[in-house]
Structure 1
Amino acid sequence: MRKSFMKSALAFGCALLTALSLTAVTGFAKNYDDEVQSWQLLSRHWDESELKVRFEEFIKDIKEHKGIEDYIVPDISEEEKEAIRNYFRTFEGMKDIRYTYTKMPVLHRVNGTDEYNDLRGIMELKFQTTEAKNKVTEHTVLLKMARLGDAQGLKWKIVGILWKDKGVDVSDVKIYQLDKPKRGEEVCIMTTDAGVIKMRLFPEKAPIAVQNWITLSKQGFYNGTPFARVIKDFVIQGGALDGSGDEAKSSYNGFFVDEVNMELHNFNGALCLGNNGPHTNGNQFYIVQCSKIRNEAALPLLSLPENVKAKYKEVGGIPELDGRYTVLGQVYEGMDVVEKIASQETNQDDAPVSNPILIQNITFQKYR
């Protein structure tokens, strides 16, 4: 009995020594992808506040070349750690780097650990860098995260990089869209049953769309047609709407391409083309009627220049439509008419219940 016990103890001792040797060599790297999720959670405001403070400090440490070891989980492989280090090292030499945004859309508990170490998530981190010639780039990276610690303290740490972009140029742009027309500039006069709407056009930035708008208008295409879809604090919409059969009618004998431009935006009063997907522009149009952006908290999600975000906060609009629809003009007089049209009583399909307001005619003249 004693001999058998001694043999077992010896075997155990050998196994332990082997394990300790392997730990010294490999660190027994943990694969967090093997963990089993036990409970999907909703990230709350205190979670978001904790992440914000943590990663503001993280970006500050990168800027000051302090290293990021405290932000990486200690028990992943050295190769995985180096991949994380290498990604963030590339930003250490930038002229400036600053925190923009964090959000954890995926959060869950895992089995097999204690309550201090059982939270995992996928976090979206946005930060901006300023490079030579004051070019501002916004970077977005999705990080696999683990909250680790004990009763003395808890810290969110990076497990790995799930996805990263190449950076988006968000340098300030010239905002001229809301300027008054210049003397001699050709402007658009839309006369409706509710009054007159005057608009600037931007042929330099959206030449195809502007030419189509002018041609159809001069042909009388819009005369006597209704604003068939109106949503208060969103848009008023005209032209051939979905299902009418005339969506593709244009001066180009069919659909034409998008002209999305970083200098033109869906500010309150913007004249834009509606479509059914990429490059399906015809005659459908909308005018933005939204004097205050509906979800200011969503602005950090959009890779827009900071001066554009500031202008949205100032004048209103629908920033989430940017990058999808062609902006070809801007109301400079008659927003009260746009608001009157948007205030009509509508049904569940956003169509006016009775007597929709019609476009009488659209003309063009030189601004004086």
Structure 2
Amino acid sequence: MKFRLLFPVLLSLLFTSCSEKEKNIIPNEINVSKNITSKDLKVNDNGLSQESVILKTAKGNIVIKLYPHEAPNTVTRFLQLVQEGFYDGLKFHRVHPKFLIQTGDPTGTGNGGSGEKLKAEFNKLQHIKGTVAMARKPEDIDSADSQFYISLTTLNHLDSNYTVFGQVVDGLETLDRINLNDKIITISIQL
């Protein structure tokens, strides 16, 4: 008789603890296996993502918001490379004060990339200080890969000729402190 009374209680405890265990495991597995793409980003009234990409350097942090509707394929590829850790440890191989800084080449020469070319997604976004855009070969509009640059000033002559996909929203003063061969410590996504 005692066993009959305890059996439902034991069953209830067993199923409750299994459910709690599953609750703790399943979300972590989903988060680990999920790759964030441009479709996962929420945008504000300016078209910028609510989520940020944080580029850490020895000179300070650079916080970037993305334009997932203006350059969806570029944003998705950039996020993929960020999540793979591709940019971590790479140099700023091109630095022109009062013009731009550029990174994203694992060879550090300006000739390398990830090996995956992107079709251009030219848009109407203007190059102002802190604009983030994909670098490409001048003669091939669909040659962007992993290299990107950040404008250090207004660059009207680049408007509609390069894929603008982000904007620096914090750390503009850090941009001016970056020197040739300074390295990215890490880039991460802040949700």
Q: Which of 256, 263, 269 matches 2:118? A: 256
Residue 223 of structure 1 pairs with residue 84 of structure 2: no
The number of equivalent residue pairs is: 144
Q: Any conservation in 1 of the 2:71–2:164 contact (CA below 8 Å)?
A: yes
Map of 1:19 onto structure 2: none
In 2, Cα distance between equivalents of 1:211 and 1:331: 18
Gaps of 5+ in 2: 1-44
The structure richer in strand per residue is 1
Task: Give the distance between the partners of 1:242 and 1:280, measured in 2 at CA.
Answer: 18
Matched residues in 2 for 1:322 and 1:189: separation? Answer: 25
> How far 1:275 moved relative to its partner?
0.3
Q: 1:244 Cα shift? A: 5.5
Q: Does the C-alpha gap of structure 1 residues 242 and 361 become closer, same or farther in structure 2, counting only changes over 3 Å?
A: closer
Q: TM-score, normalising length from structure 1?
A: 0.37
Provide the TM-score with structure 2 as the length reference: 0.70
1:362 and 2:180 correspond: no
* Equivalent of residue 235 in structure 1, options 97, 100, 111: 100
Alignment of structure 1 residues 83-162 onto 2, 5 Å: none
In the other structure, the counterpart of 1:214 is 79
Query: In structure 2, what residue type is equivalent to 1:337?
Result: T
Of the candidates 147, 151, 154, which is equivalent to residue 284 of structure 1?
A: 147
Question: What are the ranges of 5 or more consecutive residues in structure 1 without an aligned counterpart?
Answer: 1-174, 291-316, 345-351
> 1: CA distance between counterparts of 2:54 and 2:63?
5
| Structure 1 residues 1-368: aligned runs within 5 Å | 176=46, 185-240=50-105, 246-247=112-113, 249=114, 254-262=116-124, 264-276=125-137, 277-290=140-153, 317-341=154-178, 344=179, 352=180, 356-366=181-191
Give % identity.
30
Shift of 1:322: 0.8
Query: Pairwise CA RMSD of aligned residues?
Result: 2.0
Structure ID, larger Rg: 1
Structure 1 runs, 4 residues or longer, greater than 2 Å off:
241-247
Q: Tell me the secondary structure at the aligned position of residue 120 of structure 2.
A: coil
How far apart are residue 243 of structure 1 and its match? 5.8
SS in 1 for 2:177: helix
1:323 offset after TM fit, Å?
Answer: 1.5
Shift of 1:359: 0.2
Structure with more relative contact order (C-alpha pairs < 8 Å, separation 6 or more): 2
